[in-house]
Structure 1
Amino acid sequence: MGVLALVSAVGLAVDDRVLVGAPIWAKPFKFSVSFIAYALSLAWMLSLLPRGRRTGWWAGTVVAGASAVEMVLITLQVVRGTRSHFNQATPFDNTVFQIMGGTVVVLWLGALVIALLLLRARILDRAMAWTVRLSSLIALAGAGVGFLMVRPTPEQLATDNPPIVGAHSVGVPDGGPSMPVTGWATTGGDLRVAHFFGMHALQLLPLVLLVLAALATRSARFPRLAHLARLADERVRLRLALTASAAYAAAFVLLTWQALRGQALFAPDGATLAGAGAIVLLGGAAAALSLRPTPGGPSPSPSPSPPTSLASPTEEIAA
């Protein structure tokens, strides 16, 4: 996967072809980096399992294998100068996309097995345990948004044998005005926003908890941070972890709803703004309550060791 990322980076530098409004090598580059980050994050989570590691190893191997097949097919279509996703222009293109769809299903099922193992695992630090469990479930939901993209658009339904079936965008055609780097539509909804945000939970939520643990450690060394000493209480960190996970899940649902209504990320209507405001207010209030002192005094627990890889993916699995 690292080799494909390097090859794609070279392709971006030397190949000026454009496909669906973006450099033709942009998709394999972002996908390869995403798969690397996703696999490393899952591998770290699997290392936390006290039992079921063999099952987890097989599930992780399935995820890695499906990712590799997906990347080979994406790169193949780039070399051919055509689209990989939603492409039914020729029998060969349709076969490639159908295989890709199958690999995504296999990948999602492998990640589901890992999520179920994490739900059953007795991880020492409860705050980290629930952060890992909930982030894996949110990431599964984020990956599942990709299945919404394969639905034909109204324009495609009105056409006999359309060459493209499915789209990232909602209400506007793919390849229109878009944001730099991400390529998300700026004139309509884009399901990749929620897809990307949901899958980032696998890295961001554990990272939040690691920051809290680091602040608790520093509070003992620096008097100015003494007010953060309560973060050493595992129960406080657990409440904050649950609050962060709930707020993240709510934001993911809001982004999905916004995209399905054909609304661009930075052009929210009143309903979207109201939803975002509610998440901020309720999340802030819950965080404040979570920081309240625990009756009986602090119950410090060892801070979790930082993972060897918490890199954020830069692209969704099925875009």
Structure 2
Amino acid sequence: MGVLALVSAVGLVVDDRVLVGAPIWAKPFKFSVSFVAYALSLAWMLSLLHRGRRAGWWAGTVVAAASAVEMALITLQVVRGTRSHFNQATPFDNTVFQIMGGTVVVLWLGALVIALLLLRARILDRAMAWAVRLSSLIALAGAAVGFLMVRPTPEQLATDNPTVVGAHSVGVPDGGPALPVTGWATTGGDLRVAHFFGMHALQLLPLVLLILAALAARSSRSPRLAPLARLARLADERVRLRLALTASTAYAAVFVLLTWQALRGQALFAPDGVTLAGAGAIVALGAAATVLSLRTSSPGEPSPSPSTPDSPLPTTSHSLPKLTG
């Protein structure tokens, strides 16, 4: 995927062809970069497994192989100068898209196996464990948004033997006015917004917990920093766990809101009052939950004793508590 990203970047410079309103090499470039982040995240999560490592290896291999087939077919269609997704213009194009659909299903099932293994795994402290588990489930939901894109639009249903069946956009045709780089529609809904946001929970939620753990360790080494942001509270495993659950819940809520907004034909930056109210509720409830999550243990409540985590990651003397269940 890294090599294909470089090839696609060169294609963006030297090939001036445009397809469905975007440079023809934009899709393989964006897909390959996204797969790099996705594969690295899954590889790290698989390294945390202590039980089911063989099943995880096979699931990861299936995901990698399906991704490679998907990208090979996308690149093939770019070289041919035609679209890869939703294309039924010729029997060959239809066959290519059907194979792509099959590889996406296989990829999704491989990721599902990994998510199930992570649900059973004893990894790091409880906060990171739940961030990893919930992020993998949200990423699965984000990937599943792609299945909504293959539904024929009303205009396609009204046409005999349409050459294109399915769309990224809702309420407007693909290839219209769009945001730069992402290509998301600006005059109607676009399911790629929720698809992108959901899948990248796999990186963002664990990253939040890694930052919290780093801040907790830093406050322990530099007590003078603690009064500035009350970083010392993050040393409490239960505080980090509550923050992990809060962040995951808020992320899932935003993902649902983005999906709902797209299905109603609204562009990302043109929300109606109902969408804004939903976003406001998520922000208000998320902020309140964050404040409550930062409470430390009551004086009479025992704190978890630190121990060496089950993770192969390097630790300091301020190691995170071990997950015991």
Instruction: With the length of structure 2 as denominator, give the TM-score of the two structures.
Output: 0.92
Q: Does 1:255 align with 2:247?
A: no
Residue of structure 1 equivalent to 2:226: 225
Q: Is the 8 A contact 2:225 2:231 kept in 1?
A: no
C-alpha deviation, 1:122, in angstroms = 1.7
Structure 1 segment 18-97 matched on structure 2, within 5 A: 18-97=18-97
CA shift digits 1:176-222 (9 cap, x unpaired): 00000000000000000000000010000000001111111111233
Structure 1 segment 4-15 matched on structure 2, within 5 A: 4-15=4-15
How many positions carry a matched residue from both structures? 306
- The residue type equivalent to 2:293 in the other structure is S
Q: Partners in 2 of 1:33 and 1:153 — Cα distance?
A: 29
Q: Is the 8 A contact 2:67 2:103 kept in 1?
A: yes
Residue of structure 2 equivalent to 1:2: 2
Q: Is the 8 A contact 1:219 1:225 kept in 2?
A: yes
- The residue type equivalent to 1:294 in the other structure is S
Residue of structure 2 equivalent to 1:292: 295
Q: Which moved more, 1:6-15 or 1:92-101?
A: 6-15
Q: Partners in 2 of 1:193 and 1:2 — Cα distance?
A: 23
What secondary structure sits across from 2:149 in the alignment?
helix
5+ residue gaps in structure 2? 315-325
Q: Partners in 2 of 1:236 and 1:259 — Cα distance?
A: 35
Residue of structure 2 equivalent to 1:147: 147
Q: Partners in 1 of 2:241 and 2:66 — Cα distance?
A: 34
C-alpha deviation, 1:298, in angstroms = 4.6
Q: Partners in 1 of 2:194 and 2:76 — Cα distance?
A: 27
CA shift digits 1:127-167 (9 cap, x unpaired): 11100000000000000000000000000000000000000
Q: Does 1:113 align with 2:116?
A: no
- The residue type equivalent to 1:151 in the other structure is R
Query: RCO greater where, 1 or 2, for CA within 8 Å and sep 6 or more?
Result: 1
What secondary structure sits across from 2:221 in the alignment?
coil
- The residue type equivalent to 1:189 in the other structure is G
Q: Which moved more, 1:62-71 or 1:221-230?
A: 221-230
C-alpha deviation, 1:35, in angstroms = 1.0
Residue of structure 2 equivalent to 1:309: none
C-alpha deviation, 1:4, in angstroms = 1.3
Structure 1 runs of 4+ off > 4 angstroms?
300-306
Q: Does 1:238 align with 2:246?
A: no
Identity of aligned residues (%): 87
Residue of structure 2 equivalent to 1:200: 200
- The residue type equivalent to 2:292 in the other structure is L
Q: Which moved more, 1:258-267 or 1:221-230?
A: 221-230
Aligned-pair RMSD on alpha carbons? 1.3
C-alpha deviation, 1:300, in angstroms = 6.2
Q: Does 1:269 align with 2:272?
A: yes
Q: Partners in 1 of 2:140 and 2:255 — Cα distance?
A: 12
